[in-house]
Amino acid sequence: MFPVSLCIDFGNTNFKAAIFQSDRLVERYQFKEAEAMSTLKNIISLYNPQKSILASVVNHEQGIVSLLKENTTYTKLDLNTKLPFLNAYGSPETLGHDRIALVAGLSRQYPSQTVWQFQ
């Protein structure tokens, strides 16, 4: 059985989550902030993910982090997260977490290639 991962993106406009099994996208979700806790509980109950990663640029209910830590091996995507690429962006603290996640995915899918350059 391939490992199941829960990837979560809490942005200014949308709250999103996705379930991956190995490298395959299984399901995508989009929901409102008020629905975040119940949606994530349902996803965890349905898929029993082994790992989770949260990229958030907004203040969110802290119970969500507790839920993820209790049910998965939890990672918070931030400036200290180990990445499969060198982030040479001039001001890395201003680079959006969604962009970092995108480049991480592209780096994995296209190893040994330049996949994105930020100016």
Task: Work out whether strand 4-10 and strand 51-56 pair parallel, antiparallel, or are unpaired.
Answer: parallel
Which one of the listed residues 9, 23, 78, 98 is annotated catalytic? Answer: 98
Say if residue 63 is in the same domain as residue 89: no
Domain count, the chain: 2
pTM, whole model, 2 decimals?
A: 0.78
Say if residue 93 is in the same domain as residue 63: no
Question: Between residues 46 and 92, which one has the greater pLDDT?
Answer: 46
Say if residue 2 is in the same domain as residue 55: yes
So what's the pLDDT on residue 11? 86
Residue 118 in domain? no
Say if residue 40 is in the same domain as residue 14: yes
Q: Given pLDDT bands bounded at 50, 70 and 90, which one contains residue 108? A: low
The arithmetic mean of pLDDT across residues 42-69, rounded, is: 94
A 10 A CB-CB count for 51 gives 15
User: Is 98 in the active site?
Assistant: yes
Say if residue 15 is in the same domain as residue 61: yes
61 near 35, Cβ under 8 Å? no
So what's the pLDDT on residue 70? 98
Residue 119 in domain? no
Full domain range(s) for residue 85? 79-113
**CATH number assigned to the domain comprising residue 71:** 3.30.420.40
What is the rounded distance in angstroms from the CA atom of residue 71 to the CA atom of residue 116?
Answer: 33
Say if residue 3 is in the same domain as residue 50: yes
